[in-house]
Amino acid sequence: MNQRNHSCCDVPAGVHFSICRECGNRGKPVKEITLKNIVKEARLKAVNGLDGFYFCETSTCKVVYFNNEKNTYLRKEDVKVRVGIKETEDPIPVCYCFGWTQDRIFNQIKQLGYSTAIQEISAKVKMGECACEIKNPSGRCCLGEVSRVVRRGMKLYGNNKKR
C-alpha cells in the first residue's frame, strides 16, 4: 500500500461502491465533510444524516449524490458548484482547489502545445495546499480528471511544438 500524505487523496477508491438508481452506474463513497461544503444549505437541512452517500460520476446523469438506503438523491441543482464531469458548457471546472477549468487547459495547449496543469497542481498538492475534500464535489484529488482533460486537449489541439 502506498501511503499518500494528504487526507484529500486518502479516500480508498474501489473499496465500496453503490449503484446509482438513475443511471445504473457505480458511485464512490463521499465523506460528510464534502457534502456539508458542496450541498446547498437549504437542501442539507432536509437530509436526514449525511452518512452513507455516494458520488455519481456519470457525465449524463443529473444525480450528484445518492443514498439508496435513505432513498435520497441530490441533483445538480442541489449543489453549490458546477460539477465539471457533468457539464458540457464552459466553465467546466476540473481542479477546484487551484481554479483550473477545461478551457484554461485547452487554451494553454492551443498556445504552448502542452499544459502545465498537472505539474503545477502536483507541486501544490505536495505542499499540502489542496482541499479537495471540501472543494471538489467528488471529495477526491482532481489529478486523475486533470490528466484526462489534458490528454483530450492534446488530442484536439496538441501539435508537435513541444519544447
Q: Which is nearer to Zn ion, 52 or 113 (CB)?
A: 52
| Cell numbers linked to 127 | 505542499
User: Could you tell me if 28 and 55 are in contact, meaning their C-beta atoms sit under 8 angstroms apart?
Assistant: yes
Nearer to Zn ion by Cβ, of 60 and 159: the residue is 60
- Minimum gap (Å) between residue 129 Cβ and Zn ion: 31
The gap from C-alpha 51 to its chain's centroid, in whole angstroms, comes to: 19
Q: In this structure, is the dihedral angle defined by the CA atoms of residues 132, 137, 138 and 143, taken in order, positive or negative?
A: negative
Rounded Cα distance between 60 and 156, Å, is: 22
Of 24 and 155, CB closest to Zn ion: 24
Least distance (Å) between residue 60 CB and Zn ion: 8
Residue 83 vs 94, nearer CB to Zn ion: 83
Least separation in angstroms between residue 33's CB and Zn ion is 22
Which spans of this chain sit near Zn ion (rule: CB under 5 A)? 20, 22-23, 56, 58, 61, 63
CA dihedral 154, 97, 134, 46 (to 10 degrees): -70
Minimum CB distance to Zn ion, residue 30 (Å) = 13
